[in-house]
């Protein structure tokens, strides 16, 4: 109790209280379903975007025709096994 009195003595004397402090006693709604849906949609879009970028950056040859179109002759090709 003595600490409170000491605190009051040390306060500035020209302060006025205009309004009493108010607070909201209810909890803020988080809208969990909206956040989960938005996260899922954005995550899917980012994943598809990364897949497209990696697909366009691919530097592989899939068919002998791609080599022939580039002017490189193809002497033989090994067929893909189904096993």
Output the tens digit of pLDDT for each of the chain's 83 residues. Answer: 555 555 555 555 677 777 777 777 766 667 888 889 999 999 999 999 999 999 888 878 888 888 889 898 888 888 877 87
Question: What gap in Å lies between CA 47 and CA 40, rounded to an integer?
Answer: 10
Helix residue ranges per DSSP H, 2-63: 2-9, 32-56
Question: What gap in Å lies between CA 3 and CA 10, rounded to an integer?
Answer: 11
What pLDDT is attached to residue 37?
92
What pLDDT is attached to residue 41?
98
Question: What gap in Å lies between CA 38 and CA 48, rounded to an integer?
Answer: 15
What pLDDT is attached to residue 52?
94
Place of tokens 């598809």: 48
Tokens representing residue 5 in the block: 């009195």
**Domain layout of the chain by residue ranges:** 32-73
Judge if pTM exceeds 0.85: no
């Amino acid at each position: 109790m003595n600490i409170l009195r000491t605190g009051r003595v040390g306060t500035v004397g020209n302060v006025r209280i205009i309004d009493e402090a108010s607070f909201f006693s209810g909890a803020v709604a988080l809208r969990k379903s909206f956040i989960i849906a938005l996260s899922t949609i954005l995550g899917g879009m980012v994943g598809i975007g990364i897949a497209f970028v990696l697909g366009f950056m691919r530097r592989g040859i899939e068919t002998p025709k791609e080599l022939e179109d580039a002017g490189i002759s193809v002497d033989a090709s090994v067929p893909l096994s189904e096993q």
